[in-house]
């Protein structure tokens, strides 16, 4: 059985994966915003080739000297963090004219191209070295499908590069794949995350009452690291989180909320089917007070229907413990509303997904996969925050186990 696991190639993890929706590195922030609004995907890949003109972007402008390569990924969180700065709130129309490279993190090696024939263990090594996404050529696509996408590329993000489609591979894909062969690693998966040393006490956290603007750097970092920002009270009790997964499904107008609200109010703003009317009123008043009327003029900020409020509790990998936190749906209104309804998109409420130090590795893996997150918060019985368990730390354990199996 172990030999079978070692025989797997990267292409085995790509079966059924959709082709990347993409954007040229020569595009503007406004182009990226338009593409995100009209895409069913939360993320877009950014490429060094300009398919619209049939030429490649020179290396000094971010290209690869004639190569057609993916140089990064972006989502609405990048746009929101970018627009939330004081200068950009004052003149969002000018901010949208900036090159899309302004949205990309200045961290090399975040996106790495790999061949479909690469071994699974090689992919794991790349992820452990810092790659957040592996870009893999899709081997089987019908000519008819490719032709259809070529014809539609003039009105939507391009998916074909030099006649080839690509897909993402991320930590979640590898963890999900390993879970199917979890018996090979017995008895390690049954041991607690505490015993295995998987709990990282160094977390991104903000105080409930602190300004959300002070959390922008942490939000951007959590997006890069595929984690989240914990929101705690003065005693270290986990109240909730500001999750990139939630923000990625918001409208760009959430930038105004980030700039004007507290972290606690921001959680409520991005939840419950759209921002509450009272918080929308507060945001508009503070934008006017600070003379940031450009945001009000460029984008319409609307509240959610009054009957859309819901509450729920977070989920824990322990059957005996749970932690309650605010939960919501996401903003879908405004002048530049996205073309797809809330129900048509994969969104996750901002409830904190938690476990306990004695939860088993396998239970936490299943929990994270079920909620489509790359991490699980670890709390004590009194809901005080202990740390975080990530897919990255899990991959380190499995990588070591795989080395021992070879």
Question: What average pLDDT score do residues 304-314 get?
Answer: 43
HEC letters along the chain: CHHHHHCCEHHHHCCCCCCCCEEECCCEHHHHHHHHHCCCCCEEEEECEECCCCEECCHHHCCECCECCEEEEEEHHHHHHHHCCHHHHHCHHHHCCCEHHHHCCCCCCCEEECCCCCEHHHHHHHHHCCCCEEEEECCCCCHHHHHHHHHHCCCCCECEECCEEEEEECHHHHHHHHHCCHHHHCCHHHCECCCCCCCECCCCEEECCCEHHHHHHHHHHHHHHCCCEEEECCCCEEEEEECHHHHCCCCCCHHHHHHHCEHHHHHHHCCCCCCCHHHHHHHHHHHHHCCCHHHHHHCCCCCCCCCCCCCEECCECCCCCCCEECCCCCCCCCCCCCCCCHHHCCCCCCCCCEECCCCEHHHHHHHHHHCCCCEEEEECCCCEEEEEEEHHHHHHHHHHHHHHHC
Please report the pLDDT score of residue 351 as a whole number: 74
- Of residues 195 and 310, the one with the higher pLDDT is 195
Q: pLDDT tens for residues 96-110?
A: 999 999 999 888 889
Q: 249: pLDDT confidence band, cut at 50, 70 and 90?
A: confident
Weakest-pLDDT range from 43-57, 66-80, 319-333, 339-353: 319-333
Residue 66 pLDDT = 52
Q: Backbone dihedral region of 54: left (phi > 0), alpha (psi from -120 to 50 degrees) or beta?
A: left
Provide the CA 335 distance to its chain's centre, in angstroms. Answer: 24
Least confident of 29-33, 39-43, 227-231, 355-359: 39-43
Q: Report pLDDT digits (tens) over 358-399.
A: 999 999 999 999 999 999 999 999 999 999 999 999 999 999
Burial 312-342 (b: 16+ CB within 10 A, else e): eebbbbbeebebebbbbbbbbbeeeebeeee
State how beta strands 238-242 and 312-313 pair.
Answer: unpaired
Q: How confident is the model at residue 302 (pLDDT cuts 50, 70, 90)?
A: low
Provide the pLDDT for residue 312.
38
pLDDT one-digit tens code per residue, 334-362: 333 443 333 333 444 557 899 999 999 99
Identify the residue whose tokens are 């746009």: 79
* The pLDDT value given to residue 325: 33
C-beta separation of 276 from 303 below 8 A: yes
Please state which of the ranges 73-77, 87-91, 133-137, 193-197 shows the lowest mean pLDDT. Answer: 87-91
CA dihedral 285, 287, 293, 299 (to 10 degrees): -90
């Amino acid at each position: 059985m172990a030999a079978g696991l070692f025989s797997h190639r990267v292409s085995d993890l790509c079966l059924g994966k959709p082709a990347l929706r993409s954007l040229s590195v020569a595009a503007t922030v406004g182009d990226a915003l338009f593409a995100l609004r009209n895409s069913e995907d939360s993320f877009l890949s950014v490429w060094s080739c300009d398919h619209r003109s049939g030429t490649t972007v020179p290396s000094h402008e971010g290209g690869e000297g004639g190569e057609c390569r993916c140089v990064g990924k972006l989502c609405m969180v990048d746009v929101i963090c970018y627009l939330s700065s004081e200068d950009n709130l004052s003149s969002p129309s000018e901010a949208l004219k900036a090159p899309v490279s302004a949205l990309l993190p200045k961290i090399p090696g975040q996106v790495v191209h790999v061949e479909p024939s690469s071994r699974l263990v090689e992919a794991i090594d790349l992820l452990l070295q810092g790659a957040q996404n592996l870009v893999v050529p899709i081997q089987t696509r019908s000519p008819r499908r490719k032709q259809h996408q070529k014809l539609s590329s003039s009105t939507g993000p391009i998916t074909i590069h030099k006649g080839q489609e690509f897909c993402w591979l991320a930590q979640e894909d590898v963890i999900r794949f390993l879970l199917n062969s979890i018996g090979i690693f017995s008895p390690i998966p049954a041991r607690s995350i505490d015993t295995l040393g998987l709990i990282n006490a160094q977390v991104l956290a903000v105080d409930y009452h602190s300004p959300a603007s002070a959390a922008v750097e942490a939000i951007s970092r959590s997006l890069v690291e595929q984690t989240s920002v914990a929101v705690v009270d003065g005693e270290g009790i986990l109240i909730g989180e500001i999750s990139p997964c939630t923000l990625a499904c918001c409208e760009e107008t959430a930038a105004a909320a980030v700039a004007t609200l507290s972290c606690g109010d921001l959680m409520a703003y991005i939840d419950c089917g759209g921002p509450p009317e009272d918080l929308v009123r507060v945001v508009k008043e503070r934008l006017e007070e600070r003379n940031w009327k450009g945001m009000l003029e460029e984008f319409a900020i609307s509240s959610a229907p009054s009957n859309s409020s819901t509450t729920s509790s977070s989920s824990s990998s322990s059957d005996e413990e749970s932690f309650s936190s605010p939960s919501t749906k996401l903003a879908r209104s405004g002048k530049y509303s996205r073309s797809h309804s809330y129900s048509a998109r994969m969104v996750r409420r901002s409830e904190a997904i938690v476990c306990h130090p004695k939860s088993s590795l396998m239970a936490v893996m299943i929990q994270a996969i079920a909620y489509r997150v790359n991490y699980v918060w670890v709390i004590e019985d009194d809901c005080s925050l202990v740390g975080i368990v990530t897919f990255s730390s899990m991959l380190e354990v499995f990588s070591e186990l795989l080395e021992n199996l070879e």
